[in-house]
Structure 1
Amino acid sequence: MSTAKTKLDTGLVRELAAILREADLGEVEIEHEGLRIRVSKPAAPVMQTAHYAAAPAPAAPAAPSAAP
């Protein structure tokens, strides 16, 4: 691989990365003359929410007992 081709590929990859950032894309791919370059960024981590159990319902007040 020649130095000129390496510089061209590096520049192209940098341009694709800039497009990725500016357009807020997750992935961009280009194919030209048998050369295919794909630039992607990792997906954002999924935030997990904590699920709490519902508090138990308060007990009903005791009914007054009948007097004997």
Structure 2
Amino acid sequence: MIGEILEVGTSYCLSCRADADYQIIDMTGNGDRMDRQWLCPANHRDTHVQDEYKQYTWEARRKARKGED
């Protein structure tokens, strides 16, 4: 279905310095084109990080605060 939300997850917005959610949306209805919609407080589109910068994820920041590995 066009506009169907296929995946929801969390990211970190470097501009807002806050955790944010994202959605991956099927734009064509057949899986040919996907779009990622960032849902941070200020609606930034290019300043989000996920797995490639693990030090910014909420889980890594929580572990760092507690001194865990």
TM-score of the aligned structures, taking structure 1 as reference length: 0.23
Tell me which protein shows more strand as a share of its residues.
2
Tell me which protein shows more helix as a share of its residues.
1
Question: Highest relative contact order (Cα 8 Å, sep 6+), 1 or 2?
Answer: 2
TM-score of the aligned structures, taking structure 2 as reference length: 0.22
Larger radius of gyration: 1
